[in-house]
Amino acid sequence: MGIKEIDLIDPKKLPCHIAIIMDGNGRWAQKRGLPRIAGHWAGAEALRSIVEFCAELKIKVLTVYAFSTENWKRPYEEVKTILNLLVYYLKKEVDNLNRNNIKLMVTGDWQELPYRIREEIKKSVELTSNNTGLILNVALNYGSRREIVKACKTISRLVDNGRLKPEEIDEKLFEKYLFTAGLPDPDLLIRPSGELRLSNFLLWQIAYSELWFCDTYWPDFKKEHLVQALLDFQRRERRFGGLTK
Ligand code: IPE
Ligand code: IPE
Ligand code: MG
């Protein structure tokens, strides 16, 4: 593995937007007899090298699922530690992001998070806002159904106060009210850890994404896995409902 396979990647056929469901942290830790939170720490480390690799490849957007609207169902201690860790990570990574010209974006209902966390997020986003390379989009307190309902509410209000006609609502307009407004749809969605489901992630946006699964737990997910995903992606034929040329 390594150099050879990387060299097989066709730079002209890279996905513009990669989305990753960073799953398997808890099981990674349990397998080692460690507390689940150790898995979340290891997961944050795994993210760093994948982010840097995506920047190197000149991928435009990397969206990572870090905390879902359903993850609040977990024990309070785990939720608290995950959120603190995420904020610690975002803060600590700012220099590294700037060095690599990476722009941070946070997607989801993060405005609902505690004040201290919101302030830290705003600061990190602001400090990387002039970067022009990879967009690292972190989905935090994100839920796709909630995102879609929210968009419907905003659009209904516009109709209600006469600023929009129902006939004017189309897919393009609808997308403007999603958290991902302005971003291209993911071309490739990756879920490690052996789970074959979407868990409420980007349901609208992945209508035509290529899906790629592997059994590796996220903390063990390396550049090599991404290379494999990219090579598989480049071998696939995307028809978008049309026919092969
Ligand atoms: C993903 O790992 C991280 C979050 C959901 C925050 P998990 O914590 O879901 O790990 P598993 O799936 O239980 O192994
Ligand atoms: C999805 O993983 C959410 C994140 C990775 C942040 P979960 O572990 O929460 O998903 P389920 O519960 O296995 O579907
Ligand atoms: Mg999980």
C-alpha 162 – ligand 2 centre gap (Å): 40
User: What pLDDT is attached to residue 21?
Assistant: 99
pLDDT in tens, 111-139: 899 999 999 999 999 999 999 999 999 99
pLDDT in tens, 56-92: 999 999 999 999 999 999 999 999 999 999 989 989 9
Domains of the chain, CATH where assigned: 14-143+185-234 (3.40.1180.10)
Establish whether residue 82 lines the binding site of ligand 1, counting it when its CB lies within 6 angstroms of any ligand atom. yes
Angle between helices 115-127 and 76-99 (to 10 degrees): 20
User: What pLDDT is attached to residue 5?
Assistant: 87
- The chain-wide mean pLDDT, for the chain, equals 96
Indicate the top mutation candidate among 20, 22, 23 to test ligand 2's pocket, ranked by most ligand atoms within 8 A of CB: 23
Single out the residue of 183, 192, 244 nearest to residue 222, CA to CA: 192
Residue identified by tokens 């689940």 is 36
